[in-house]
Structure 1
Amino acid sequence: MHDFLTKTRFSGNPLSILNQFLDEEKTKELVSSTDNWKFAGYVIDIGFNTVRIITSDPYKKAIGGMPRGSFLIMVPEDLEGIAPHFSLLRVSGVAPTPLTNSVQQTYFELHKKSMPELDRWTVSELQWGSIDCDLLGMFYPNPDDAKKIEFSGDINAVVSAHRYRVFAPDERILNIIINGMVKSELNQSIGKLRLTECRLPFNNAKSNLEDVSVQISLKDFLGARTAMFGKTRLGKSNVVKIIANATIEALASQSEYKCGQLIFDINGEYANTNHQNISLREMHSEHCQVYALIQKDETPSKPLRLNFYTDPSEGMRVLGSLLQAEGNLSGYVKSFANLELPTFELCNNMGFGEKIRAYRKIQLFWSILNQSAFQANEGELKALIPFVANGPNGFDPGFTDDVRFKVYSFIDAESGTSDGVPARPKTLSQMKREYASIAKYVLNSKDPLLSTSGQKNELFDGDDVVMLTFLNPNTGRGTQWITDYKKYHSPDAQNLIKQIIDDLNGSKTVILDLGSADDKVRKYFSNMISTAVFQEQERKFTSNSLKSHFVNLFFEEAHNLFPRTVKDNTDVYSRFAKEGAKFHIGMIYSTQSPSTISQELLAQTENFFVGHLSSQDEAKSLGKVNVYYDGVQEDILSSKTPGYMRMLTQSHRFVVPVQVKHFGS
């Protein structure tokens, strides 16, 4: 009666299937139907972390083999009157038995004498073996809700080994093991369970266990950090696409959660369909918005540009990197490519004299851009350089009347004209003309007031002279060197940020197509847009309007953004790692080696997908970062099948081997 009441109480619990499973296995044993028996062996030694079982070849054949990494369940010999529960084991290796030495001696003698056959008593003795297993924890009914399952990373008690029996789970039990603790919200399939890389059926018996679908909850990824590790060409990008695709599909069918996705597509594979894969944009054209540096006819997109005028420091850095990529630079072009310009914030904090020099450097840079036909919003630019007494004012460099008279008198003498001194510049093109005239004067006159010996009372320092030379050289291409880089510029780039933020707030997937771009251009856009996303989510948090709106950012080659040795803990990426969860900012980052990533970020990472690693040091470092990967390093080192991942999410308490489905299939 007590057993009946117990079974009735837990009849609505998924673990009630365990009673049915054990009854079926008992019936098979009674009628000697052992061909499909799930019995795996007996426990001969048990601890709180490991279990050793004894098994036999017929048992292994019946269950389809017992490879390393496979799951077994350990149950008490009698569950009558108690709640259905089982302990989860993972096969870790072969262990010696008490008769190992005797068995090896028998093998030695047999092979030595080349005996063709064994008597059945000897065969019976030799087919027994021992297996070591890791004890991962226990599944049992929730004490507060009889219809729910709980999992603990330990077991409540250890009794004598003979009180336990070990079984291989069938599809029903395995589904509980793999998916029983996954949150039901925003649930999606990511692939199939795959216990081993080897696909050859053991003993020619096909198992249905690997037909078990592996589920994930996208709620585990919202506002969380997710790492993708593994050698190149083994499926990291495919997993990223699967997660991004699953997020779009899961959110489309509900209204509680909102999530914008921002993908930094450094190879153009998420935005553009190629001969190998369909793109995420093509799969979900109504939910995706592409911003491209180089727009393609076959891929609808908006232009991705930066405004070199409004951010002269980064603009000069980007132009310099593009020039350096040309190679074979010499003279003033090489010097120009290595220049650094101040930010407007830095200028505003300078003393009077330094501020004048800094503003003039920026104006000179603007003149170079104007000479190269970079378009500008002049009203916006003019306001960036406020009035400075006897110094720059908008587009007026603020040179004294004496300096301007000398410069334009020299120009008239050189050209044989008598135009005289023009009015002070009021437009960008007039300012460019003034600096071009000064460049000609500096490079061709011998006026000591404008010499380049480095004295503080001189108008221009060495960097200024480099820019003046680049603007109006006596020989060479000058500003024609950067004319081709206009494709990276737009005077409306500030609106770009607003458009992207609006798309993310509308739960769109924004793909930044950075294919074929220079590394520094990529870094510029990554910094600029990441900072804007952080500020927007922080604004929502402080105004109490964050609610259930998340943003997930996808980074490839993450070791460049989150290096192991982080000198600046205040950059936007470090803030993502530390404060992202609070502001509902999630990150999905991928790289080949876990040892190259910031240890602080790894310690904060909740979800992992690990493919093949070829270095023992890398595999060991993974085990140190996350204890759940301790014990599966050998499998990670030996398996090289694309898409074969060892997955761990917030819902899972142990590593799950999964063959991630191919995106688009």
Structure 2
Amino acid sequence: MIQDLVSTLSAGTNPLSALLDEQSGASLVGYTIHTSYDAVTVMTNDKWREDAGGIPMNSYLLACSADPSEMVKANPIDKRILLLRVVGRAELATDRDMVRAVMEHFQDKPDTRDPAFRMEEPISFSMLQWSGIECKVLGTFFTNGSSALTFGADAEDFFAARHMVVRKPGSAALSTIVNFVDPIRKAKADKDAIAIGMKRAPSPFEIGTVRFTSSNQLALRPGQSQVPVKIFPGDFLARRTAVFGMTRTGKSNTTKTMVSAVALSAFESDTPIGQIILDINGEYSNANNQDGGSSIADVFADNTVRYRIGAKSGFRDVRVNFFENLEVGHQFIAEGVTADGSNLSEDLKSFVACDFTRPDQSDYGSYGRWKRKVAIYRSFLANSGFKTKPNYKIEFEINEAVLSFLYPHVIAEADRDAKATLPQKARAVVEFFELEPMNKGFKAEPSVAVRFWLKVREVEKLLESTGGIKKGKDTWLGPEDHALLAMLAGRSHKSDTPIRAGNYVRASASEFHSPDGSNDIVSEIYDLLSSGRIVIVDLSVGVPKIRETMAERIAKGIFTASSAKFTSGQSAPRIVLYVEEAHNLIGKKADLNTTWPRVAKEGAKYGMAMVYATQEPSSIHPNILSNTENFFVTHLNNDDEIRTLSKYYDFGDFAPSLKRCQDVGFARIKTLSANFTTPTQIMLFDPARVGEEYRRAKSSSSSWFSPLNEGV
């Protein structure tokens, strides 16, 4: 009696017994008849399969040589459970005999059925029910001398005569299997979460339910419970995640579910986690029928900032103030000028090649030349029709020598003073143009600055044969200045013939300029991300090349800012970057030293996570794929794409179903914490449900959170 009690208690407390016990729903399906380190052949029977509710392709089975109720007393070598995945049918030695018997039956009695086939002759029918299943060994569950369940991703040994009982796990055991995280790895993940600034480690979140096949009929029978698949938020932070699949198979829904889960985890861990979505199609920032008339921006309205090109209620203007954000503005113009592929004049080529990188102010000579170049460029913008803020002034520095040089070319001969000193000449020129003196240099209305620089260009053109305007022994104006003055005047620097200038430039880039645009859009977005906001940049409008440029600029700025914090010994903020159509950005031929490959390769070191989505795994740079920790894969219709994917983890097991099954949201998931890939039906993004969870999370009142009012 005491022994029976010990056995009962052991079955209830031993984690290995819990996986196999009938009370957990485990069902006998067969026995191992051939075992190796990486594969197992299971002999099963139709009756057992039926009682177990079927054995779907890709499903999990458990093989153990010990009695579950006697696990504590079992031989140490038997205190283990092999985790198997069904990968196909295995041929048994008796299969050919059974096939021959069936063939002979139909050949001899084509119009009748033998009692054995009508289940009226049990012995024959029983003999015909046996079949074999080929299984792959995914690993071993064991306890390692403690009460904690442990998993090893292989089989340590096998025995020819120690045949194992094979069971199909019940719902509770299946949940343990697919959501299992090794205690050591979990402890490290919790420690890492604290190390990266989280006040406490977040709990796993549900991403979907286990789904082995497209048919899924047996799993959906009445009374069958759906087994949730959970993901550790830490798997996404400072990691790379790939979302692969054809259009309309659930990539966007998967991304929305991730965004929601990370946002909720930020509250649970009481840590701000910034998320930025580069929204190529506008589906994350705008309400749409796909999400029941709602969107991510609506659900997380008081923590989301949306950007787009142009003014629209609820959006900030992602356009750039070209007068202030010189490099980005010039990049947009240069892209527009070269977009049509036509041959450019020398002046346009020089203009496109201009560098507006701000030099160190301690290098007074370089800094002065930069300020002069910027003044001419801003005058050109104003003259080309780019609008400025009210009362905007263009600033520049000009010494007395240059101003006095302009004196005879500006002041009418009748008004000139033959005895005027250099300062007097300079002052006369300043008064003539109505320049406003500053502490260093001058400022002027854009129209005045245009008039001033046009006169400089006119004089310089007249004096080029004698060396041009001099500053000491050097020429005052450099090659870039000449190109900018030619653009301002609309006439070639060398031949003085007309060139395409202001109107052409304005037509190519005006939609990306706004006087109310950000002076430094990247810094603005980075500050929002650092405070735990969700930033959605709607890139659904505009020329594709310009959109790519804008996205690249934002990503580069975030990467640069975070790496600067890291190298200076500061803690970089946790940021997750979501990128659609990733093959255009980190393609297989991409230079690994450019922005996107660097973000994918090095961003994790600086606290940046990257989630990239594409239909073409083969188009992604192999170095990026090799360093990707998390994969979400739905339907792929191409053998080349599937072969590429099959090189990673155990996706080769799912190659046939990936090509065949087109069900929306039917994904195969492999994450950092998981030891193997799990076929999963991703849950549908439900704005109402997520919104309710968000309201509950906010009620815990995280110290970092303060509601925004963006007019969403």
Please say whether Structure 1 and Structure 2 have the same fold, judged by a TM-score greater than 0.5. yes
1:467 aligns with 2:487: yes
Give 1:374's match in structure 2, choosing from 387, 390, 397: 387
* Deviations 1:160-203, CA, capped at 9 Å, x for gaps: 3652011111111111111232858332111111111113349x
Q: Judging changes above 3 Å, is the alpha-carbon distance between structure 1 residues 331 and 99 closer, same or farther for their aligned structure 2 residues?
A: closer
Deviation at 1:137, TM superposition (A): 0.7
Partner of 2:256: 241
Partner of 1:185: 202
Supply the AA of the counterpart residue of 1:253: E
**SS of aligned partner of 2:305:** strand
Query: Retained in 1: the 8 A contact 2:454–2:485?
Result: no
Deviation at 1:77, TM superposition (A): 4.5
* Deviations 1:472-494, CA, capped at 9 Å, x for gaps: 99798943761672553346623
1:583 aligns with 2:599: no
Alignment of 1:468-507 (within 5 A): 468=488, 470=490, 478-479=502-503, 482=506, 485=510, 487-490=512-515, 493-507=518-532
Partner of 2:114: 118
CA distance in 2, matches of 1:377, 1:563: 44
CA distance in 1, matches of 2:176, 2:318: 47
Q: Judging changes above 3 Å, is the alpha-carbon distance between structure 1 residues 577 and 475 closer, same or farther for their aligned structure 2 residues?
A: closer
Deviation at 1:67, TM superposition (A): 2.5
CA distance in 2, matches of 1:219, 1:397: 63
CA distance in 2, matches of 1:17, 1:131: 24
Partner of 1:414: none
Alignment of 1:639-654 (within 5 A): 639-654=661-676
CA distance in 1, matches of 2:25, 2:251: 41
Give 1:521's match in structure 2, choosing from 537, 541, 546: 546
Query: Retained in 2: the 8 A contact 1:225–1:588?
Result: yes
CA distance in 2, matches of 1:49, 1:206: 33
Give 2:95's match in structure 1, choosing from 81, 91, 100: 100
Taking structure 2 as the reference length, the TM-score comes to 0.75
Deviation at 1:16, TM superposition (A): 4.3
**SS of aligned partner of 1:215:** strand
Query: Retained in 1: the 8 A contact 2:92–2:132?
Result: yes
Supply the AA of the counterpart residue of 2:52: I
Unaligned runs of 5+ in 1: 26-37, 383-392, 410-418
Give 1:222's match in structure 2, choosing from 221, 237, 240: 237
Partner of 2:320: 306
* Bigger shift: residues 593-602 or 336-345: 336-345
Q: Judging changes above 3 Å, is the alpha-carbon distance between structure 1 residues 197 and 334 closer, same or farther for their aligned structure 2 residues?
A: farther
Supply the AA of the counterpart residue of 2:388: Q
Deviation at 1:657, TM superposition (A): 0.8
CA distance in 2, matches of 1:347, 1:399: 23
Give 2:58's match in structure 1, choosing from 69, 82, 86: 69
1:633 aligns with 2:655: yes
**SS of aligned partner of 1:43:** strand
Query: Retained in 2: the 8 A contact 1:363–1:397?
Result: no
Deviation at 1:228, TM superposition (A): 0.5
CA distance in 2, matches of 1:397, 1:373: 31
Partner of 1:541: 566
Query: Retained in 2: the 8 A contact 1:309–1:381?
Result: no
* Bigger shift: residues 549-558 or 106-115: 106-115
Give 1:622's match in structure 2, choosing from 642, 645, 655: 645
Supply the AA of the counterpart residue of 1:640: Q
Q: Judging changes above 3 Å, is the alpha-carbon distance between structure 1 residues 249 and 637 closer, same or farther for their aligned structure 2 residues?
A: same
Query: Retained in 2: the 8 A contact 1:449–1:459?
Result: no
CA distance in 1, matches of 2:608, 2:553: 16
**SS of aligned partner of 2:259:** helix
Give 1:56's match in structure 2, choosing from 41, 45, 68: 45
Query: Retained in 2: the 8 A contact 1:46–1:161?
Result: no
Deviation at 1:264, TM superposition (A): 1.2
Q: Judging changes above 3 Å, is the alpha-carbon distance between structure 1 residues 16 and 67 closer, same or farther for their aligned structure 2 residues?
A: closer
* Bigger shift: residues 306-315 or 363-372: 306-315
* Deviations 1:551-607, CA, capped at 9 Å, x for gaps: 1111111122222123242x3433323332222211111111111112222121111
Deviation at 1:362, TM superposition (A): 4.7
Query: Retained in 2: the 8 A contact 1:555–1:590?
Result: yes
Query: Retained in 2: the 8 A contact 1:39–1:166?
Result: yes
1:252 aligns with 2:264: no
Partner of 1:31: none
Alignment of 1:538-617 (within 5 A): 538-542=563-567, 544-546=569-571, 549-569=573-593, 571-617=594-640
Q: Judging changes above 3 Å, is the alpha-carbon distance between structure 1 residues 45 and 394 closer, same or farther for their aligned structure 2 residues?
A: farther
Taking structure 1 as the reference length, the TM-score comes to 0.80
Query: Retained in 2: the 8 A contact 1:149–1:180?
Result: no
Partner of 1:365: 377
**SS of aligned partner of 2:301:** coil
Supply the AA of the counterpart residue of 2:18: I
Partner of 1:271: 285
Deviation at 1:209, TM superposition (A): 5.4
Partner of 1:20: 21
**SS of aligned partner of 1:289:** strand
Partner of 1:432: 450
CA distance in 1, matches of 2:207, 2:660: 23
* Bigger shift: residues 393-402 or 274-283: 393-402
Query: Retained in 1: the 8 A contact 2:603–2:609?
Result: yes
**SS of aligned partner of 2:519:** helix
Partner of 1:340: 352
Give 2:681's match in structure 1, choosing from 643, 653, 659: 659
Supply the AA of the counterpart residue of 2:669: M
**SS of aligned partner of 2:142:** strand
Deviation at 1:516, TM superposition (A): 0.6
Deviation at 1:46, TM superposition (A): 0.6
Percent identity over the alignment is: 26
Query: Retained in 2: the 8 A contact 1:341–1:361?
Result: no
Q: Judging changes above 3 Å, is the alpha-carbon distance between structure 1 residues 436 and 43 closer, same or farther for their aligned structure 2 residues?
A: same
1:135 aligns with 2:158: no
CA distance in 2, matches of 1:495, 1:310: 8
Query: Retained in 1: the 8 A contact 2:19–2:169?
Result: no
CA distance in 2, matches of 1:24, 1:501: 51
Partner of 2:556: 531
Query: Retained in 2: the 8 A contact 1:321–1:518?
Result: no
Unaligned runs of 5+ in 2: 117-122, 187-200, 413-427, 436-441, 469-473, 688-712
Supply the AA of the counterpart residue of 1:193: V
Query: Retained in 2: the 8 A contact 1:136–1:154?
Result: yes
Deviation at 1:208, TM superposition (A): 5.5
Q: Judging changes above 3 Å, is the alpha-carbon distance between structure 1 residues 541 and 14 closer, same or farther for their aligned structure 2 residues?
A: farther
**SS of aligned partner of 1:52:** strand
**SS of aligned partner of 1:286:** helix
* Bigger shift: residues 190-199 or 358-367: 358-367
Partner of 1:44: 33
Deviation at 1:358, TM superposition (A): 7.8
Deviation at 1:155, TM superposition (A): 2.2
Q: Judging changes above 3 Å, is the alpha-carbon distance between structure 1 residues 57 and 236 closer, same or farther for their aligned structure 2 residues?
A: same
Q: Judging changes above 3 Å, is the alpha-carbon distance between structure 1 residues 156 and 279 closer, same or farther for their aligned structure 2 residues?
A: same
Query: Retained in 1: the 8 A contact 2:371–2:397?
Result: no
Partner of 1:294: 310
CA distance in 2, matches of 1:420, 1:550: 55
CA distance in 2, matches of 1:398, 1:337: 31
Q: Judging changes above 3 Å, is the alpha-carbon distance between structure 1 residues 643 and 404 closer, same or farther for their aligned structure 2 residues?
A: farther
Deviation at 1:612, TM superposition (A): 0.8
Q: Judging changes above 3 Å, is the alpha-carbon distance between structure 1 residues 357 and 468 closer, same or farther for their aligned structure 2 residues?
A: farther
Partner of 1:160: 160
Query: Retained in 1: the 8 A contact 2:310–2:319?
Result: no
CA distance in 1, matches of 2:381, 2:519: 18
Query: Retained in 2: the 8 A contact 1:192–1:658?
Result: yes
* Bigger shift: residues 641-650 or 536-545: 536-545
Deviation at 1:495, TM superposition (A): 4.8
